[in-house]
């Protein structure tokens, strides 16, 4: 590693003095460290073309070739490992809050560890361990949460005292610390060499690597990648992988049909020093001080230290295609606060001599998670980019998942949190990205607390009622660019400001949401749910019904006016989407999906529906405002407004009818509420939205109507054991595993996607079960609140993790939902989870290291439904049927 860095550094300095070096030397410079240079001409065709020779691109190539694909070309516009990869700090850290990211980092670590042996290329791998410091109790809580999830994954990790910190790293000033987390297996590498090693291995496996080859654009025909145009000619291909790092956005926009890859670069600084008189040991652990916004690693007997400042400098907003990242200017004034933090943490460094301040741009994404997967518009167009300054930690694992995706059609883990399709075109505005990454970069070090919302790039998509609701005290959160109400602050009721409201404990809105829930239970509430994705699918003949019957597991051949809850499943029976479908007429269907399904569901349907001009699909999300009337008096409000009888005989549960509400006609009313409470959702053409809302609020007054927000909805649905796609359900969860067999009609007489897998599960049982946990000895006022991702223990053994949680105002207890597995005590092999297995265990939930007793339930509380109306009997009867 040392030699490599020296080489790089001398190169940088030399290059700064000779700005024209590239032109002078490009012809002679060979790819010395790559196993096989390819001065050859480009092949005319290949199965896969990868663009980008950084750690990400080489990792994808490596893993594809490992999986047996050989016909692969990797193109790099400059030299291999020359971009962010070349400059980055080389820290492999597994301490990640998101489970899939943790898995990727863990895999990367294991991969790099053996890479030198595999390839013969020195990677500089050194298992130094890492120490994450906490200056505050809240920080310590967040570290404990990470420690909990590392431990259950079998990654050694412990929470240590400041004293222990000093033993591990003698330079650290521990006076302001309350604790720390030690991960002994975290490592350091030379990222450039790792990348070269991956390239070497890939090259041995037959991957062709061409440097100094610029991809100008990708040709796409009929929604399918057909080839790549470069400055050295054209390559026909089936698959294209965009691993162009911070140039991925521009590359995505270079074709006729743009692929939106929302990422944006920011300058990132780190410092290199000369060695100490007594050089620092190369095994000294890496130190992360998030409260000081810095990281520190040993480097060449001195240190390397960088950080994530509060006032980042975004760059290349206008896009600038330059070959390799030029050596950007050092900015000491900008680095000043980080230097202060460094000297405060390690006062002993004062006398250390500066070698250089490196400016190494990193790309960031709108939600701090990397971008992976296939374009929703162009089949065969894959993306892996936007590593949010963790390219080395994620590179190995991410490359593996993407390779699996390309080869098998889907990765071996749920990667929805990273899926490109979680974004739409709306996150692709440069102004949006510039503003958002300025928020994201400091967030790398900020405390991540539950229910946290981005503050930039807001108020993009709004309901027509936005101003009305805002004036009534609405507080907002954002999903897929859409503003949604969290809750309504009653007049005269002041909440804490944003910074002070951050907490892992009971939040300040507790009573506000409580009263909204109470109103939903006893009277009636209105929640604006316009953000939900809405599609209309219709056909001239029976094509719509036939296609949908194949794509959905429930039976959609129901009488007109009926609503069906159903999963949209993949081959393995896993949920690609969970939706409600209303049959509007014999030949047309109205489909409601979660908000963030807008791109994914559209792409899935596009790819699976037959190419038939008689079958049309339209995204009508923007056409309707959705008002959810929840509560026992919803029926009274609606019948008064429509002069139509709304009783069970006239308007049964799971029913859909167009009717008039107030003056407005053509309002699509459905007897569902997404919560298990009685009520209706009104789909209102947007021009009537304000009218209908006003009518509902006026008429509702005598029934005690009030506005409510998503927090109330969430509490209601979780205490009723309703799973939500994206939170509880994913592509690896089947209806059988979450008690929804009643939504699967195996015998509907038509073959459907996932049917076989479900048959098998029905016969052989399931390997995980969606379970509801009631926390027993948890003090709502004093104890840490559960969030999601908390480990679940059965009889003291780890069996799974929670997926969501909420306080139930009815039970006056916390409810967690999560999956229970059955690992064999000796082999760790996964066994079938039976009802008995669930019922005959003592459960505990681990919240930041503290375990709370929990009661497991496979069915919701029937006592909650004493007031239940007709509809729930149908909607919920399925749960009992098993």
Partner 1 sequence: FYLTPPQVNSILKANEYSFKVPEFDGKNVSSVLGFDSNQLPANAPIEDRRSAATCLQTRGMLLGVFDGHAGCACAQAVSERLFYYIAVSLLPHETLLEIENAVESGRALLPILQWHKHPNDYFSKEASKLYFNSLRTYWQELIDLNSGETTDVREALVNAFKRLDSDISLEAQVGDPNSFLNYLVLRVAFSGATACVAHVDGVDLHIANTGDSRAMLGVQEEDGSWSAVNLSYDHNAQNEREVERVRMEHPKSEEKSLVKQDRLLGLLMPFRAFGDVKFKWSIELQKRVVESGPDQLNDNEYTKFIPPNYHTPPYLTAEPEVIHHKLRPQDKFLVLATDGLWETMHRQDVARIVGEYLTGVHHQQPIAVGGYKVTLGQMHGLLTERRARISSVFEDQNAATHLIRHAVGNNEFGTVDHERLSKMLSLPEELARMYRDDITITVVQFNSHVIGAYQNEE
Least distance (Å) from partner 1 to the CB of residue 309? 13
CA distances for 227 relative to 215, 230, 284, 382, 442, angstroms = 11, 10, 48, 13, 39
541 scored as a contact of partner 1 (CB under 8 A) = no
Task: Name the 3-class secondary structure at 453.
Answer: coil
H-run or E-run covering 60:
helix 55-66
The residue range among 330-338, 369-377, 551-559, 631-639 that interacts with partner 1, by the rule CB under 8 A, is 330-338
The residue range among 132-140, 343-351, 629-637, 770-778 that interacts with partner 1, by the rule CB under 8 A, is 343-351
Of 27, 117, 167, 353, the residue at the interface with partner 1 (CB under 8 A) is: 353
Burial pattern 610-621, b for ≥16 Cβ within 10 A else e, equals: eeeeebebeeeb
330 scored as a contact of partner 1 (CB under 8 A) = yes
Question: How far is it, in rounded angstroms, from Cα 828 to Cα 708?
Answer: 46
For partner 1, the closer of residues 166 and 343 by Cβ is 343
Residue (of 250, 228, 252) closest to 238 by Cα position: 228
Question: How far is it, in rounded angstroms, from Cα 8 to Cα 716?
Answer: 58
DSSP assigned state of 735 = G
Tokens of 484: 């949604």
> Hey, which residues between 708 and 727 contact partner 1 (CB under 8 A)?
none
β-partners of residue 569 are: 575
Binding mask 300-329 for partner 1 (x = CB under 8 A): -----------------xx----------x
For partner 1, the closer of residues 40 and 351 by Cβ is 351
839 scored as a contact of partner 1 (CB under 8 A) = no
Of 349, 390, 551, 672, the residue at the interface with partner 1 (CB under 8 A) is: 349
351 scored as a contact of partner 1 (CB under 8 A) = yes
For partner 1, the closer of residues 316 and 688 by Cβ is 316
Least distance (Å) from partner 1 to the CB of residue 5? 17
Tokens of 279: 């050089």
812 scored as a contact of partner 1 (CB under 8 A) = no
Sign of CA dihedral 447, 450, 456, 457: positive
Question: How far is it, in rounded angstroms, from Cα 396 to Cα 384?
Answer: 12
With a CB cutoff of 8 Å and minimum separation 6, the contacts of 260 are 252, 253, 423, 424, 425, 427, 428
For partner 1, the closer of residues 97 and 347 by Cβ is 347
Least distance (Å) from partner 1 to the CB of residue 641? 40
Least distance (Å) from partner 1 to the CB of residue 173? 14
Whether residue 559 contacts residue 573, with contact meaning beta carbons closer than 8 Å, is answered with no
The residue behind tokens 């089947």 is: 734
Q: Which class for 276: exposed (0-12), middle (13-18), buried (19 or more C-beta within 10 A)?
A: middle
> Hey, which residues between 241 and 300 contact partner 1 (CB under 8 A)?
271, 273
Question: How far is it, in rounded angstroms, from Cα 366 to Cα 420?
Answer: 11
For partner 1, the closer of residues 428 and 802 by Cβ is 428
332 scored as a contact of partner 1 (CB under 8 A) = yes
Least distance (Å) from partner 1 to the CB of residue 653? 50
The residue range among 188-196, 430-438, 465-473, 663-671 that interacts with partner 1, by the rule CB under 8 A, is 430-438
Using CB under 8 A as the binding criterion, the count of chain residues that bind partner 1 stands at 26
Task: Name the 3-class secondary structure at 761.
Answer: helix
Question: How far is it, in rounded angstroms, from Cα 610 to Cα 86?
Answer: 46
Least distance (Å) from partner 1 to the CB of residue 456? 14
Whether residue 351 contacts residue 274, with contact meaning beta carbons closer than 8 Å, is answered with no
Least distance (Å) from partner 1 to the CB of residue 298? 15
The residue range among 332-340, 359-367, 544-552, 858-866 that interacts with partner 1, by the rule CB under 8 A, is 332-340
Question: How far is it, in rounded angstroms, from Cα 274 to Cα 272?
Answer: 7
Binding mask 678-697 for partner 1 (x = CB under 8 A): --------------------
Tokens of 862: 């029937």
Of 231, 331, 522, 779, the residue at the interface with partner 1 (CB under 8 A) is: 331
CA angle 162, 166, 169 (to 5 degrees): 130
**HSE, side-chain direction, 13 A CA sphere, residue 530:** 24
For partner 1, the closer of residues 16 and 874 by Cβ is 16
Q: What φ, ψ does residue 405 adopt, rounded to 5°?
A: -60, -45
Pairing, β 126-127 against β 533-539: unpaired
The residue range among 61-69, 205-213, 429-437, 783-791 that interacts with partner 1, by the rule CB under 8 A, is 429-437
343 scored as a contact of partner 1 (CB under 8 A) = yes
Of 20, 40, 175, 350, the residue at the interface with partner 1 (CB under 8 A) is: 350
357 scored as a contact of partner 1 (CB under 8 A) = yes
Binding mask 431-460 for partner 1 (x = CB under 8 A): x--x--------------------------
For partner 1, the closer of residues 332 and 663 by Cβ is 332
The residue range among 73-81, 345-353, 521-529, 751-759 that interacts with partner 1, by the rule CB under 8 A, is 345-353
Of 95, 202, 259, 352, the residue at the interface with partner 1 (CB under 8 A) is: 352
Tokens of 485: 């109400």
Interface with partner 1 by CB under 8 A: which residues? Answer: 271, 273, 317-318, 329-333, 335-336, 339-340, 342-343, 349-354, 356-357, 430-431, 434
């Amino acid at each position: 590693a040392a030699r490599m860095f020296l080489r790089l550094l001398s190169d940088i300095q030399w290059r700064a003095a000779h700005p024209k070096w590239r032109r002078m030397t490009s012809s002679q410079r060979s790819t010395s460290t790559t196993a096989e240079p390819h001065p050859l001409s480009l092949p005319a065709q290949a199965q896969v073309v990868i663009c980008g020779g950084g750690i990400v691109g080489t990792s994808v190539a490596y893993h594809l070739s490992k999986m047996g694909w050989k016909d692969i070309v990797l193109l790099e516009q400059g030299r291999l490992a020359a971009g962010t990869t070349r400059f980055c700090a080389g820290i492999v850290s597994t301490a990640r809050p998101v489970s899939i990211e943790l898995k990727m980092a863990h895999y990367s670590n294991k991969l790099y560890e053996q890479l030198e042996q595999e390839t013969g290329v020195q990677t500089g791998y050194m298992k130094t361990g890492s120490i994450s410091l906490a200056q505050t109790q809240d920080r310590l809580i967040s570290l404990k949460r990470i420690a909990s999830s590392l431990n259950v994954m079998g990654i050694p990790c412990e929470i240590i005292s400041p004293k222990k910190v000093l033993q591990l790293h003698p330079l650290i000033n521990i006076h302001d610390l309350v604790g720390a987390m030690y991960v002994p297996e975290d490592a350091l590498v030379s990222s450039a060499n790792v990348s070269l090693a991956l390239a070497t291995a890939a090259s041995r496996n037959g991957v062709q690597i061409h440097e100094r080859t610029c991809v100008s654009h990708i040709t796409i025909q009929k929604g399918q990648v057909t080839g790549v145009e470069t400055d050295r000619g054209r390559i026909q291909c089936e698959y294209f992988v965009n691993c162009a790092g911070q140039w991925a956005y521009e590359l995505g926009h270079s074709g006729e049909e743009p692929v939106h890859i929302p990422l944006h670069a920011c300058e990132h600084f780190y410092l290199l020093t000369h060695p100490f008189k007594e050089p620092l040991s190369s095994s000294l652990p890496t130190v992360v001080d998030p409260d000081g916004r810095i990281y520190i690693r040993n480097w060449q007997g001195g240190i390397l230290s960088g950080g994530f400042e509060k006032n980042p400098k975004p760059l290349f907003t206008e896009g600038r295609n330059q070959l390799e990242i030029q050596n950007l200017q050092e900015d000491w004034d900008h680095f000043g606060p980080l230097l202060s933090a460094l000297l405060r943490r390690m006062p002993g460094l004062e006398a250390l001599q500066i070698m250089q301040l490196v400016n190494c741009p990193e790309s960031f994404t709108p939600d701090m998670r990397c971008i992976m997967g296939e374009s929703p518009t162009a089949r065969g167009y894959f993306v892996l980019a936007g590593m949010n300054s963790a390219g080395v930690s994620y590179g190995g694992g991410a490359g593996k998942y993407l390779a699996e995706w390309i080869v098998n059609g889907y990765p071996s883990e749920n990667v929805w949190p990273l899926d490109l399709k979680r974004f739409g075109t709306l996150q692709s505005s440069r102004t949006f990205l510039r503003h958002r990454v300025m928020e994201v970069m400091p967030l790398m070090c900020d405390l991540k607390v539950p229910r946290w919302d981005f503050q930039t790039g807001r108020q993009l998509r709004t309901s027509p009622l936005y101003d009305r609701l805002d004036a009534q005290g609405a507080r907002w959160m954002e999903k897929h660019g859409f503003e949604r109400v969290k809750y309504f602050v009653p007049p005269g009721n002041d909440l804490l400001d944003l910074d002070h409201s951050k907490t892992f404990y009971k939040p300040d809105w507790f009573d506000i949401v409580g009263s909204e829930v109470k109103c939903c239970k006893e009277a009636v509430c209105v929640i604006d749910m316009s953000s939900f994705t809405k599609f209309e699918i219709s056909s001239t003949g029976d094509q719509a019904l036939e296609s949908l019957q194949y794509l959905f597991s429930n039976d959609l051949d129901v009488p007109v006016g009926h609503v069906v809850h159903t999963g949209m499943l993949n081959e393995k029976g896993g949920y690609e989407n969970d939706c409600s479908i209303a049959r509007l007429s014999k030949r047309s269907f109205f489909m409601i999906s979660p908000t963030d399904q807008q791109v994914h569901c559209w792409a899935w349907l596009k790819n699976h529906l037959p190419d038939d001009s008689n079958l049309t699909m339209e995204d009508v999300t923007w056409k309707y405002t959705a008002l959810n009337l929840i509560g026992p008096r919803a029926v009274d409000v609606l019948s008064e407004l429509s002069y139509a009888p709304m009783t069970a005989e006239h308007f049964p549960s799971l029913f859909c009818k167009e009717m008039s509400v107030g003056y407005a006609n053509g309002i699509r009313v459905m007897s569902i509420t997404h919560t298990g409470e009685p009520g209706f959702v009104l789909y209102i053409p947007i021009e009537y939205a304000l009218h209908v809302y006003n009518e509902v609020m006026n008429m509702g007054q005598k029934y005690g109507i009030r506005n409510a927000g998503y927090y109330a909805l969430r509490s209601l649905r979780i205490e009723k054991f309703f799973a939500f796609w994206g939170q509880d359900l994913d592509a690896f969860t089947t209806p059988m595993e979450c008690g929804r067999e009643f939504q699967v009609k195996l015998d509907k007489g038509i073959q459907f996607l996932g049917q076989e897998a479900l048959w098998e599960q029905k016969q052989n049982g399931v390997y995980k079960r969606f379970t509801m946990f009631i926390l027993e000895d948890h003090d709502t006022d004093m104890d840490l609140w559960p969030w999601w991702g908390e480990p679940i223990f059965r009889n003291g053994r780890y069996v799974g993790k929670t997926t969501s949680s909420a306080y139930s105002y009815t039970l006056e207890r916390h409810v967690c939902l999560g999956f229970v597995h059955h690992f064999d005590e000796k082999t760790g092999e996964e066994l079938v989870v039976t009802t008995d297995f669930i019922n005959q265990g003592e459960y505990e939930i681990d919240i930041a290291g503290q375990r709370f007793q929990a009661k497991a339930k496979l069915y919701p509380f029937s006592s909650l439904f004493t007031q239940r109306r007709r509809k729930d009997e149908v909607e919920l009867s399925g749960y009992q049927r098993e």
